[in-house]
Amino acid sequence: MNTVANALSERKGPMICSLNIRSIYRSLDELSLLLQDNAIDVMLLQESFLNDSVSDAQLEIVGYNLHRFDRQATSGKSAGGGLCAYSAKS
């Protein structure tokens, strides 16, 4: 068994991951598979590129709660930014 798979199978405690996603909306299918295939408890995402034109319902991943912190229009930046996190429902 490779070392990553071995570490995952023997882990103790929650699995917390962080990823610079650079647009969650275009990567949502891959993110959903990553979360569910690896039983990740908390996924922290930077550069989500989200704004109020994208609803929470569009970002739903079964079995996870979404927490989002979009870049505000008043920030003076025209693109990028934003943070979000998915936490496993208990």
Q: How far apart are CA 86 and CA 73, in angstroms?
A: 23
Residues forming beta bridges with residue 43, ordered by sequence position: 17, 86
Examine the pLDDT at 83 and tell me if it is beyond 90: yes
pLDDT in tens, 16-56: 999 999 999 899 999 999 999 989 999 999 999 998 889 99
User: Strand 42-46 relative to strand 16-20: parallel, antiparallel, unpaired?
Assistant: parallel
The DSSP symbol for 71 reads P
pTM: 0.82
Q: What is the mean pLDDT of residues 61-76?
A: 89
Examine the pLDDT at 66 and tell me if it is beyond 80: yes
Examine the pLDDT at 74 and tell me if it is beyond 80: no
Q: Are 63 and 88 in contact (CB under 8 A)?
A: yes
Examine the pLDDT at 78 and tell me if it is beyond 80: no
